[in-house]
Structure 1
Amino acid sequence: MVRLNRQAYPEVTLTIDFGGSGTKAIAQIRGGKPIAIWMEPSVIEASKISLAFQTRNLGNAYPENTAWVGIGEDYRAVGYLARSTYSATSGLKPRKYELGLYKTLAAVWVIKQKFKLTESFDISLALLLPPGEFEDSALLKPILRDALAEFDSPTGKVNANLIGYECFPEGGGIYAMYCKNTGEAIRRKVIALVMLGYRNASVMISRRGILNRGKTANLGMVKMVDLVIDRTSGLSTEELIKAIANAGNEPKPQHFHHLCNSSNHQDAEIEKVILAVHSSRAEYAIALTNWLKEVLPSSNELDEVIICGGTADYLREELDTVFPITPIVWHGSVEIPSNLNEKWLGSRLADVWALSVYHSIKVRAGIKLQNASEVTSNG
């Protein structure tokens, strides 16, 4: 019997989804249970002197809310700190891998703080990128490896040794878990994987177990939010997103009351917002469903369609009409452990959670193989 060398495990196993509405991550420390981390998507340049001044809040705030990183002379505030102190936007225009470097370093520092790790440790990473940006994963790996080896943080230098790295297209975690649960049958089916996020919409097709490169369009939920903002005035994007999500299929005045501050014309303002939400949803749904019909195989060819992502739940009624005869598997039937859902992210965690399970299995399998090889060579 081969005894597993526990010291060969990476100290940290980290899986990240660089979502447009927020960075979602699953982290696991060697011998511990996985935890979920969520951070605002904002990243912005800032001076080292200014950022160092923010360390005065370290003892009073969660690390997710005080994160900044420095690579050489390049310093960035990340997440809540970037938005609240430096007025950073969500950063939807750059390709995800461009800001993914800083978001990854920030998440690594957050984990270090939460688990009270030393400044040096081994880490294995699994990342999600849109299918249209998946080729960027090859560019990101050496940049990440070098930056992780030494970067500055609110608590000083961090030295993380990258000993494992995988990158998957968005939806890849759900697809990997679906394949595991489906077994041999995946080799006989044609399956569409539709990922609907805040920034992008993506489609990949699995034909008899062979997954294509997929297609991506700028048809995420932000498309609808922008339409609403164009048809109203004075609305905060973040507050509007929350209100739309809470309103669901039946927007009512109470959902938008806090967004309209006019004492004389509040009722009229709220009515205008609700009308804008209705018309924008209809317009957005038409654009999205038309694109899906264009890039997907015919219903007669499809055996199943997996629909996932945060926007999927919001547009469930409209999406049902696109697939009148094809069975829909919502979020790949992935179940999120209740202890990971403390931030109420629900199905938005499905992809990153599923990938973290797959990645952890790969890490354990690699260590077993390594130990078996050592036993053979020493025998």
Structure 2
Amino acid sequence: MGRLTKLAYPEITLTLDFGGSGTKGIVQVKGGVPHALYMEPEVIEATRLSLIDKTENNLSNAYPENVAWVGVGDEYRAVGYLAANYYSAAQGLRPRKYELALYKTLAAIWVVKQKYKLSEAFRVSLALLLPPGEFEDSSLLKPMLKEALAGFNTPTGEIQANLTNYECFPEGGGIYAMYCKNSKAAIKRQIVALVMVGYRNASLLVSRRGILDKGKTTNLGMARMVELVMERTAGLTSSQLVPAILAAGNHPKPQHFLKLVRGSERSIRDTEIDKIISAVESARTEYATSLASWLKEVLPPSSELDEAIVCGGTADYLHQELNAIFPGTPVTWHGGVEIPTSLNEQWLGTRLADVWALSVYHAAKVKALAKLQEQEKEAVVNG
């Protein structure tokens, strides 16, 4: 009978990707359809009294993802928009992701509970993505989550959540799982490289005849290019630069950077814009060269490689440069994963590919467990 409780169908099935540019998630509430979730990446320590003071009178006016905070024991953290805009938190690109993943996960669960008007006690099933270089940390994260979920504080009181299922995958694992399902027997014969380039990291996983290695991770995400641009300019922040750089794409024009300059005279503004464009172009070249050099060092020889899967939010921006790394090798962008239109309300596009693919895998597993539960229940009744 104890196993029946463990396999009880969860009220929340949640898949999370702790990207450096934001926490992306797919949530499915029991009996409902999947929805996308997005929260800013910032997390910062704060006192309970300060958090209450900043949010108590705004809970009915703001979306929950914009006023999220959590408390575990005596430790309190503002998460997402609240942390970034009211506590001036940094993006947290240096700490290992699992160190912040605890608070981000708890905050996301509170947001879901608020959006779907759930009670303070419920069951939750989690699937999480961590960089390959930090994947071993998943064994540290699980007991931390399980203990914290049993009772943690939020802007609306204590939540008691029972963790019914927990899975952690290296980044790219969702895309790889869906690729394996779609490629069927082909994966068992091939050597496939999975390259993921995000905001904080770039990662490589290699599948050799269906056997996936532990992967490698470097800090050469999009944030590195943004750092290079800031070194070549003055007074600009990453939050200002990233949208402009992505909008400019391969062909930066003055209109893409007009909002970043403050000069009162046209000639001064034009000079500032020209300097920004020059900085973006030179930073992109330097960044792409560094990334290509790392990949060529860690990739299998091209003569052995049957296919490359390239994915991640930054991959689209570097489409041209990344394609050039694989001459003669077929490249499948984002593993062929298609994002349902209904999930793109946050305009995240292909940045959702990995977490969406993993959510499909995880939801199927939860469904299978629920079916097993029903079978065991029937056996008990009929036995």
Q: Same fold (TM over 0.5)?
A: yes
Moved over 6 A (4+): none
User: Shift in Å at residue 245 of structure 1?
Assistant: 0.5
- Residues 198 and 220 of structure 1 are in contact (CA less than 8 Å); yes or no, is this contact kept in structure 2? yes
Q: Which residue of the partner structure matches residue 45 of structure 2?
A: 45
What letter corresponds to residue 247 of structure 1 in structure 2? A
User: Shift in Å at residue 266 of structure 1?
Assistant: 1.1
Are 1:269 and 2:272 matched, yes or no?
Answer: yes
Matched ranges for 1:326-365 at <5 A: 326-365=329-368
What are structure 1's unaligned runs of at least 5 residues?
none
User: Shift in Å at residue 185 of structure 1?
Assistant: 1.3
User: Shift in Å at residue 262 of structure 1?
Assistant: 1.5
Q: Which residue of the partner structure matches residue 325 of structure 1?
A: 328
- Residues 23 and 39 of structure 1 are in contact (CA less than 8 Å); yes or no, is this contact kept in structure 2? yes
Matched ranges for 1:47-86 at <5 A: 47-53=47-53, 54-86=55-87
1:308 aligns with one of 269, 294, 311: 311
User: Shift in Å at residue 168 of structure 1?
Assistant: 0.1
User: Shift in Å at residue 372 of structure 1?
Assistant: 2.1
Give the TM-score taking structure 1 as reference length: 0.97
Please give the secondary structure, in 2, of the residue aligned with 1:157.
strand
Matches of 2:324 and 2:186 in 1, distance apart? 26
Please give the secondary structure, in 2, of the residue aligned with 1:235.
coil
User: Shift in Å at residue 317 of structure 1?
Assistant: 0.4
Matched ranges for 1:93-242 at <5 A: 93-242=94-243
Are 1:369 and 2:372 matched, yes or no?
Answer: yes
Matches of 1:271 and 1:55 in 2, distance apart? 46
What CA deviation, in whole Å up to 9, does each residue of 1:72-111 have, x standing for no partner?
1111100000011000010001000000000000000000
Q: Which residue of the partner structure matches residue 22 of structure 1?
A: 22
User: Shift in Å at residue 146 of structure 1?
Assistant: 0.6
What CA deviation, in whole Å up to 9, does each residue of 1:176-211 have, x standing for no partner?
000001111110111000010101000010011000
User: Shift in Å at residue 373 of structure 1?
Assistant: 3.0
- Which of 13-22 and 44-53 deviates more? 44-53
Please give the secondary structure, in 1, of the residue aligned with 2:59.
helix
What CA deviation, in whole Å up to 9, does each residue of 1:329-365 have, x standing for no partner?
0000100010100110000000000000000001111
Number of aligned positions between the proteins:
375
Give the TM-score taking structure 2 as reference length: 0.96
Matches of 1:342 and 1:100 in 2, distance apart? 24
Matches of 1:237 and 1:214 in 2, distance apart? 28
Matches of 2:21 and 2:273 in 1, distance apart? 24
Please give the secondary structure, in 1, of the residue aligned with 2:33.
coil
Matches of 2:170 and 2:360 in 1, distance apart? 16
What CA deviation, in whole Å up to 9, does each residue of 1:285-341 have, x standing for no partner?
000011111100111111110000001000000111111100000000100010100
User: Shift in Å at residue 370 of structure 1?
Assistant: 2.7
Matches of 2:101 and 2:162 in 1, distance apart? 18
Are 1:278 and 2:281 matched, yes or no?
Answer: yes
Q: Which residue of the partner structure matches residue 12 of structure 1?
A: 12
Q: Which residue of the partner structure matches residue 91 of structure 2?
A: 90
- Residues 8 and 164 of structure 2 are in contact (CA less than 8 Å); yes or no, is this contact kept in structure 1? no
What are structure 2's unaligned runs of at least 5 residues?
none
